[in-house]
Amino acid sequence: MKKIGVFTSGGDAPGMNACIRAVVRTAVYNKVEVAGIIHGYKGMIEGNIIPLDSRSVSNIIQRGGTILKTSRSAEFLTIEGRKKAFDNLAKNGIEGIVCIGGNGTFAGAMQFYNEYGIPSIGAPGTIDNDLYGTDFTIGFDTAINTAVDAIDKIRDTAESHDRVFFIEVMGRHAGFIALASGTAGGAEVILVPEAKEDWQALVNYFSGENKSKKAFSIVVVAEGDEAGGAYKIVEKLKAQIPDFDSRVTILGHVQRGGTPTALDRVIASRLGNAAVEALLKGETNKMVGLINNKVELTTFDDAINKTKQLNSELLRLIDVFNV
């Protein structure tokens, strides 16, 4: 393999630039040319492809976002769109690709390989940490540290006013950010999509004989919790507890930005390096991940379709500490 491409796709995540840097420099070390594909699959279709070398990725390891930009492409979902993408890769002499992203990114790469035989290796870049086959995804550590910093600041206000605060974090389908940041931030209640019984626990905490005697409380909510987002949950609580008073803070996309933590930079560097080495060894349709601090390969099919479980020990600790 003489030339590979690299791109980022889906939601951005802190550490993507560190991963791009690792991909490029590992390729150069192995005397392989590298092309950067701007705006993911959209750029592949439009032929927005640029050469990259060691100097191209200087001074980016500490930067959030992605220098290669990212987007979601409806056109790539069509046969015609994928044909355009393949023609542009062939035109640029690209023989394999490293894709940095999540489920949608890997699903696209897998279908692309099935149709055109372009081998690909994925690096898990998503703050949600919901991909099967890796203990940590690129961006997760930074996201939870951003959330914890916000929780700490809000706790100061909550204590000053003796008030309940509901803090909504990202996690449409998984509660990894909520569970980790809520545990680290000392939240009294954490609501995640995976725990169906947490709504009743919340009601019990704020009502009846189980009503909390604490002057203030922090509740961390994953946006995808089955009881609804933070605003909907507060509305439902007021319907059951008329005198219930609280405030809501939605952290939103602030969790995706910012300087990546040292851990995210290390994870991204290891996975970017491993992705290129796997590609050069002839692997394809697999994601590189870290399991028990060792690099492991997981098929795209498993990474996409198997469910990664929340840490049940952390869920248990919420009840233990909330006394």
Strands 3-8 and 96-101: parallel
pTM: predicted TM-score of the whole model, two decimal places: 0.93
Ordered per-residue pLDDT tens for the chain, 323 residues: 999 999 999 999 999 999 999 999 999 999 999 999 999 999 999 999 999 999 999 999 999 999 999 988 899 999 999 999 999 999 999 999 999 999 999 999 999 999 999 999 999 999 999 999 999 999 999 999 999 999 999 999 888 888 889 999 998 888 999 999 999 999 988 888 887 767 777 887 787 655 655 667 899 999 887 777 889 988 888 888 888 888 899 999 999 999 999 999 999 999 999 999 999 999 999 999 999 999 999 999 999 999 999 888 887 887 777 66
**pLDDT score of 90:** 97
**pLDDT score of 120:** 97
Report the CATH number of the 141-256 domain. 3.40.50.460
Pairwise CA distance, residues 92 & 68, whole Å: 17
**pLDDT score of 214:** 66
Q: Are 279 and 110 in contact (CB under 8 A)?
A: no
**Catalytic entry in 12, 128, 130, 225:** 128
**pLDDT score of 142:** 98
**pLDDT score of 80:** 96
Pairwise CA distance, residues 191 & 167, whole Å: 10
Q: Are 169 and 255 in contact (CB under 8 A)?
A: yes
H-helix or E-strand spanning residue 50: strand 49-52
Name the residue among 191, 224, 177 with its Cα closest to residue 14.
177
Cα 216 to Cα 26, 187, 188, 219, 234: the distances in Å are: 51, 11, 10, 10, 15
Pairwise CA distance, residues 124 & 227, whole Å: 29
What CATH architecture applies to the domain 3-139+260-305?
3-Layer(aba) Sandwich (3.40)
Angle between helices 312-321 and 176-184 (to 10 degrees): 40
53 is annotated as an active-site residue: no
Domain ranges of the chain: 3-139+260-305, 141-256
Q: Note whether 3-139+260-305 and 141-256 share their fold.
A: yes
Retrieve residue 196's tokens.
Answer: 């169906």
Q: Are 255 and 143 in contact (CB under 8 A)?
A: yes
